[in-house]
Structure 1
Amino acid sequence: MQFDHDRLQQLLAFLCETDIQEFRLEEGDFRLEVRRPPAHGSVLAAPVPTPSEPPMPVAPSPVPAAAPPQTTASRSELHEITAPMVGTFYRAPAPGDAPFVEVGSRIGIGQTVCILEAMKLMNELEAEVAGEVVEILLENGTPVEFGQVLMRVRPA
């Protein structure tokens, strides 16, 4: 069985909207387990490696996250870009490539600002507002939770 990106997104969205605490799907050598801790309420999904599919190592990027900037804007004036799913945060399209954005970068609506990897699917996150990136809160390769703030933008 093979999941395409849309089908996986629909399944995870459905599970987020329900009270299901644990979900398991097995078909052939494909196996998917999703568990939601009762205290947190967010869906945690992890692929289970199969004998025919060895786990893929994640190499940390040598690019550190930028330090929080000296800014006079209050947090209430900033737009927060949050994780729409559980996954791994990546600042660049591939190891060794330049990051999508840096602190001080001007971004436009729809511009890719990072990638969240969830179950070996690379999901590009696009900016919802135009403005200037003032904070990047995570280092490359960091696991993230649903709703976690990834970066802050001063709207234009």
Structure 2
Amino acid sequence: MDLRKLKTLIDLVSESNISELEITEADGKVRIVKADPAGVAMVPAASVAPVAAPVVAAPIAAAPAVAAAAPAAAAPVETGHVVKSPMVGTFYRSSSPGGKPFVEVGSEVKEGEPVCIIEAMKIMNEIESDKAGKIIKILCENGQAVEFGQPLFIIE
């Protein structure tokens, strides 16, 4: 089972009312259990472990870089409100390629105003600001893959 299929399944479980999903295919078996409303746990069977192992190994290898970046990222989080991604997908700053971005650093936003788009499963989802204020930092690059709960913007 490929990584994209696994991510899609995880998204479906996290966005639905089900708490557990188990799928068996010729190339393996996957069981996804929703740990709590904010997270999803994935428990792969032994035959899928080679596919899942690189996914687990990458964050472990990157841990020193993340640990070094954490103190720098902690200061802006304390000084403003963080707009987080409500889903896994691809982050876009504008509604079309080459189009004008929804917001820039220094832009004033109102609560409910669109600030970006996240594409998930070929659907473009407008993400709205959950607080009024001024954009002081944009934390994602255009076209970047984002995870559930990942910080996108800091609003002051």
Shared topology, TM-score over 0.5?
Answer: yes
Partner of 1:102: 104
Q: Secondary structure at the match of 2:154?
A: strand
Q: Secondary structure at the match of 2:115?
A: strand
C-alpha displacement of 1:75: 2.6
Structure 1 unmatched runs, 5+ = 1-8, 25-33, 44-72
Query: Runs of 4 or more off by more than 4 Å in structure 1?
Result: 9-12, 34-38
Q: Secondary structure at the match of 2:148?
A: coil
- Tell whether the 8 Å contact from 1:101 to 1:113 is kept in structure 2 after alignment: yes
Distance of 2:147 and 2:33 partners within structure 1? 12
What CA deviation, in whole Å up to 9, does each residue of 1:99-154 have, x standing for no partner? 00000000001110000000000000011111000010111000000000011100
* CA-based RMSD: 3.2
Taking every aligned residue pair, what percent have the same amino acid on both sides? 45
Q: Which amino acid aligns with 1:108?
A: K
Partner of 2:40: 41
Under a length normalisation based on structure 1, what TM-score does the superposition of the two structures give? 0.57
C-alpha displacement of 1:11: 6.5
- Tell whether the 8 Å contact from 1:136 to 1:151 is kept in structure 2 after alignment: yes
- 1:36/1:106 Cα in 2 relative to 1: closer, same or farther (>3 Å)? farther
- 1:10/1:86 Cα in 2 relative to 1: closer, same or farther (>3 Å)? closer
C-alpha displacement of 1:76: 1.8
The alignment covers a number of residue pairs equal to 106
1:137 aligns with 2:136: no
C-alpha displacement of 1:10: 7.9
Partner of 2:63: none
- Tell whether the 8 Å contact from 1:42 to 1:146 is kept in structure 2 after alignment: no
1:152 is aligned, of 142, 151, 154, to: 154
C-alpha displacement of 1:19: 3.7
Q: Which amino acid aligns with 2:145?
A: P
Written as runs of structure 1 = structure 2, the 5 A alignment for 1:80-119 is 80-119=82-121
Partner of 2:80: 78
Q: Which amino acid aligns with 2:106?
A: G
Q: Secondary structure at the match of 2:15?
A: helix
1:18 aligns with 2:19: yes
Q: Which amino acid aligns with 2:101?
A: P
Q: Which amino acid aligns with 1:105?
A: S
